[in-house]
Amino acid sequence: MIERRPYEALGGADHGWLKAKHHFSFARYHDPERMGHGALRVWNDDEIAPNTGFPPHPHAEMEIITYVRQGAITHEDSLGHQGRTEAGDVQVMSAGSGIRHAEYNREPVPTKLFQIWIEPGVGGGEPSWGAKPFPKSERSGRFVALASGFAGDADALPIRAAARVLGATLKAGDTVAYELGAERHGYLVPAQGSVEVNGVRIFPRDGAAITGEDELKVKALEDTEIVLVDAA
């Protein structure tokens, strides 16, 4: 089953400096039918104004993946990590037993990103942070694991969950397949462009909640950039 969740029907908030759309219940947006999708708990579509950002705040027991679509985000945390993650790159913070962090847009343009939270398979552990570039040219016509809890995904940023976050870029008319498994939960969002997923049309920044599908066949209806979460 593939359920299209239109972008315009998502929950959201406009704080002036932050414009956010929530694919699942988050902060003041609550929908008991959308509390998560398997181990996937949060997918926020954020636009952060220049020279603003999230001041220091705590997290624990969550794998937090940031996929930057435009601009850049600057990370600082209580372990002393600092880093700038720009468009095309990905950062992962394993909150573990607890960490405080801040995320700032120190760019002259708005920063646009997906923030994805996945529940860890095991609680606790030392918190950690890392970032890595994933050139779009290397994702052309195929899915590439960006963050993963599976040992075989050696080039992906590690997370502490039986899940992976994947990215692909497709030219109009291209098709790519992914073996999901009927027992798994998939959630796919086109960062740009429209696609068909097993025949269901998904428009830019819509969500596609996927269950009971052994294989995904994704056809690009126009040039597109896709992010997919495969979770337990």
For residue 105, give the H/E element and its range.
strand 99-105
Q: Find all residues with CB under 8 Å of 144, minimum gap 6, and list them.
A: 134, 138, 155, 166, 167, 168
Given a contact cutoff of 8 angstroms between Cβ atoms, the answer to whether 184 and 38 are in contact is yes
Residues 111/47, Cβ–Cβ less than 8 Å: yes
The predicted pLDDT at position 42 comes to 98
Burial class (CB in 10 A: 0-12, 13-18, 19+), 99: buried
Query: How far is C-alpha 222 from the chain's CA centre?
Result: 21
Domain that holds residue 195: 2-231
pLDDT at position 83, please? 97
Number of domains composing the chain: 1
Phi, psi torsion values for 136, nearest 5 degrees = -65, -30
* Residues 169, 178, 4, 166, CA torsion sign: negative
Instruction: Tell me which residue has tokens 């704080």.
Output: 15
Q: Which residues of the chain, if any, have pLDDT below 70?
A: none
pLDDT value for 167: 98
**Residue carrying the six token digits 């095309």:** 88
Pure H helices in 38-122: none
In sequence order, the β-bridge partners of residue 10 are none
pTM for this structure? 0.97
Strand partners, 210: 2, 186
Contact 160, 195 (CB under 8 A): no
User: What local confidence, expressed as pLDDT, does residue 79 receive?
Assistant: 96
pLDDT of residue 191: 98
CA distance 132 to 100: 21
pLDDT at 208: 98
Domain CATH number, residue 213: 2.60.120.10
Residue written as token pair 């008319």: 173
State in Å, rounded, how far the first CA of the chain is from the last one.
Answer: 16
